Amino acid sequence: MQYTWTEFEQRLIIHRDVKIDISRMLFKYETQIKEYIDKIQQLTFDKTTSIFDELYEIQGYLSVAKYKYYLELKEELDWFIYHFERGDENDVREYWYSKFCNGFIWPFNEGS
């Protein structure tokens, strides 16, 4: 099957628009992660359950995007997916709570 330039160009426009939308959505997730980490730093560990639940949920969404749909993510989001894979476990949450409250800053980096 051969495509005309018009058909090809239409698909390119759709591709561009979807790519822009996905970039905006990823930016929103990244912003939410930053906001949640800031909130965690202001609370006692006992009051962070719902925030960690949200972070774990975001981790799941991003993980599906990366592994099921082969979406390439920024290094910071890849790092977040990797380190929050077990974000539903209390000891993991305690570890990250301690890191966040002791000056660990998003975006994550290997030196921290």
**pLDDT tens string 14-70:** 999 999 999 999 999 999 999 999 999 999 999 999 999 999 999 999 999 999 999
**CA 112, CA 104: separation in Å to the nearest integer?**
7
What residue has token string 């609370």? 43
Looking at the structure of the chain, the number of domains it has is 1
Cα torsion angle, 52, 56, 57, 61, sign: positive
Joined tokens for residue 101: 């409250």
- Domain presence at residue 92: yes
- Domain presence at residue 110: no
**CA 32, CA 50: separation in Å to the nearest integer?**
14
Write out the residue range of the structural domain in which residue 59 sits. 5-101
- Domain presence at residue 79: yes
More confident call, 106 vs 94: 94
Compute the average pLDDT of residues 80-88: 91
pTM recorded for the entire structure: 0.87
pLDDT above 80 for 112? no
- Domain presence at residue 107: no
